[in-house]
Structure 1
């Protein structure tokens, strides 16, 4: 199977590429990046060819391509790849505007190219264990969910609103909202948010803190802290934590650590369940298996668009001081 990577602007490209090299039966054909020095560095480090243009790489008879450009450039590269390759994995968020996100979905559908969005947190064993327990119904009716997706301030183009579409709120809201939609098949119906511009990093010039309150169509209420609040000295880049309160207990998940803490009344005591693995490896496995099997993507363009809608609604709520209905 022949796979290529378009752009190393997003740091996830490095992990995705290294995991591609670990997968049996995958021919990592090469890379392209708009910056020659970046392309040369990763070509040497990964020991794969670098192509002079994106089109040249796309014309290598690829079975799939992974796009890790700046958020604002997703549409341009997806439209270039659609029809040239059978499958695309596009980094999150799908786009910076609803218009571009819908255009990405439409062009892939018209070209017959399967589009998957990169939400690797779905592949954390603790998250999958959490979903298994939710699906089993052991805790009964779900009342509320408290979430965090903290991180370190990434700098570079992530703090350029023209390229990123926003700061911490658009960067981190989409991960958690995708998980909640996946857990329950429910949509966010209303959002309120407080957003801090340069709150944690004076002079940054973009939002680095955000707190969302929201309701879902299944009656669950939630909060989400999306802040770039972890210092460079922090042990890992951040966290994705979910705490759910339910009729017959509570359940807590830290996606970047190796267990789920379950406090189910029926068990009589708090339990740890789950184990750790590389979530990016799980995402690469899923993308490759999707191509091989011919099935539809597990994480669709529509999933990406719905998550983006919530992030953009949070900005609107913060701007107007009012709840935004979706």
Structure 2
């Protein structure tokens, strides 16, 4: 008796560094045929390898452009291109009847995000957004505890998603390609967790941001910010989204949530566990625990095979883009409160 046909998945672009771990996760899964295309890699002003060179390093089959990738007739694609290039690739996939996992943020404008969701809905294909932190066991445990009602209502949440300045992918600080700086890069992960935790959309957003960090580099995007969200149920949440970790740090940074409820508090710190040490180059840090990118890809693949809608879906992607755009508008107006309609 034969099993199901292999699932054919194309990774579109290596622009986002998570594409590397996505390839590793997919290669480790049974019943997956995998190719990659990164036509913009050769011209990217990046220090790290991309394109055919990186594909060879990862041991994945490579094609020269996206047309060849779609001619291969994939069942699904993983879009890991620069943020402003997501819409064209997602709409191309929808037109071909291909399921999509799109890197965060879904788009650089609310209009683009809504159009991408509409295209996938009309085509009857999956649109999932790459928010791996919601699969962290620490967050799942906290979510279950809050939903059990034992702690009462959530009064406030203090979120932080800090990290290094993304130096080996220059597009992260290109306002046209990224759509912004730290507000874009780091708000969305916490916004996704809050979306799942609280089950409601914020009523208003307030943000401040500046380029004080790395001011000597004359970057055209913000490098630090603080966002405050007010929810209809009364919860107030904040997100510190700065690129504040030193370049000498042995790890990229870390995300935490401190949840304050009526009858207790919870601290969620998915990246706190690891093995610290030193080598010839200085400090080292090897994380231990669940492979969150692997869990994300497992949900995507399982949803396709089972014919169901995965989470986080395109609706979450749109809502988190709305928060980012409201935060950018607020910061541009000196911290004015922006209502979400």
Question: 1:97 aligns to what?
Answer: 109
Runs of 4+ in 1 over 6 A off after TM superposition: none
Displacement, 1:300? 1.1
Q: Distance in 1 between matches of 2:142 and 2:39?
A: 37
Question: 1:33 aligns to what?
Answer: 39
Question: 2:177 aligns to what?
Answer: 163
Q: Distance in 1 between matches of 2:183 and 2:308?
A: 32
CA contact (8 A) 2:35 2:62 kept: no
Displacement, 1:111? 1.9
CA contact (8 A) 1:198 1:206 kept: no
Question: 1:220 aligns to what?
Answer: 235
SS at match of 1:82: helix
CA contact (8 A) 1:316 1:324 kept: yes
Q: Distance in 2 between matches of 1:198 and 1:110?
A: 44
Unaligned runs of 5+ in 2: 1-6, 43-48, 275-287
Q: Distance in 1 between matches of 2:68 and 2:339?
A: 44
- Which of 323, 326, 332 does residue 319 from structure 1 map onto? 332
SS at match of 2:63: coil
Displacement, 1:196? 0.9
In the alignment, does 2:18 pair up with 1:12? yes
Deviations 1:45-83 (A, max 9, x none): 122221122021112121110000000000111111113
Q: Distance in 1 between matches of 2:55 and 2:332?
A: 43
Count matched residues.
Answer: 311
Question: 1:3 aligns to what?
Answer: 9
Displacement, 1:8? 0.5
CA contact (8 A) 1:257 1:276 kept: no
Displacement, 1:205? 2.5
SS at match of 2:162: coil
Q: Distance in 2 between matches of 1:31 and 1:53?
A: 6
Question: 2:298 aligns to what?
Answer: 285
Deviations 1:14-45 (A, max 9, x none): 11111111112212134343234722112211
Q: Distance in 1 between matches of 2:50 and 2:257?
A: 36
Displacement, 1:247? 1.1
Q: How well do the aligned residues superpose, as a CA RMSD in angstroms?
A: 1.6
CA contact (8 A) 1:3 1:28 kept: yes
Question: 2:28 aligns to what?
Answer: 22
Q: TM-score, normalised by structure 2?
A: 0.87
